[in-house]
Amino acid sequence: MHLKSLLFVASLMMWICVFTSAGPIHAQCKVDWELGVSCRDVFVALVQQIKKWRSLAGCTNGGQKCLYQLTGANRYYISAKHTSPVTGFVDHLRFNLVPYALFTQCHVAALSVSEAWYTLIDHSTNYCNLYNLMEGSGLTEVEGYKEMTNDWICNQRSTANCTEY
């Protein structure tokens, strides 16, 4: 092989490494859930839970089940903010609801992203931002509940302790 093409291959490999190994600059978590209930039920449950945990009251004994704020909602879309009662950091949440099986089941595509770019080690708060709403509203208990995510797309998922964060 010519030196030139060797160099080309080397630089190509380097770029592939840069793009695939570099994690997100902002800590974030992407989760997909499948639920055996309609997206209408999921919508109502999540919106209610966000409103219920609006004040600081839910965090008087620690945890992060407080300071949620609904920022947008329509039929198959919910957006919200969560502020940490400890650090004051803000995370942005988004739920896309996709009905399937003739509207009897719901696929939830959820994303939480930290506003602060330096919180790469987020103690899985981005996962817990989403999971706590799902659990609090009872959606983790519904028939057919299934979670799909991993540590690559969801910061520190495998070590998450959502009682604390």
Ligand X SMILES: *[C@@H]1O[C@H](CO)[C@@H](O)[C@H](O)[C@H]1NC(C)=O
Residue ranges binding ligand X (CB under 6 A): 161, 163-164
Give the Cα separation of 114 and 83 in Å (integer).
Answer: 10
Q: Which two tokens stand for residue 41?
A: 């039920």
Residue placing its CB nearer to ligand X in the complex, 48 or 161: 161
Q: How far is the CB of 123 from ligand X (least distance, A)?
A: 11
Residue placing its CB nearer to ligand X in the complex, 20 or 61: 61
Q: Which two tokens stand for residue 33?
A: 């859930």
Q: How far is the CB of 85 from ligand X (least distance, A)?
A: 14
Q: How far is the CB of 164 from ligand X (least distance, A)?
A: 4
What does 70-94 look like in DSSP terms, one character per residue?
EEEEETTEEEEEEE-TTT--EEEEE
Residue placing its CB nearer to ligand X in the complex, 11 or 161: 161
Give the Cα separation of 122 and 98 in Å (integer).
Answer: 28
Q: How far is the CB of 39 from ligand X (least distance, A)?
A: 31
- Cα three-residue angle 82-88-92, rounded to 5 degrees: 30
* 147 residue type, one letter: E
For the four alpha carbons of 117, 123, 127 and 128, in that order, the dihedral sign comes to negative
Q: How far is the CB of 47 from ligand X (least distance, A)?
A: 27
Residue nearest to ligand X (CB): 161
Residue placing its CB nearer to ligand X in the complex, 115 or 164: 164
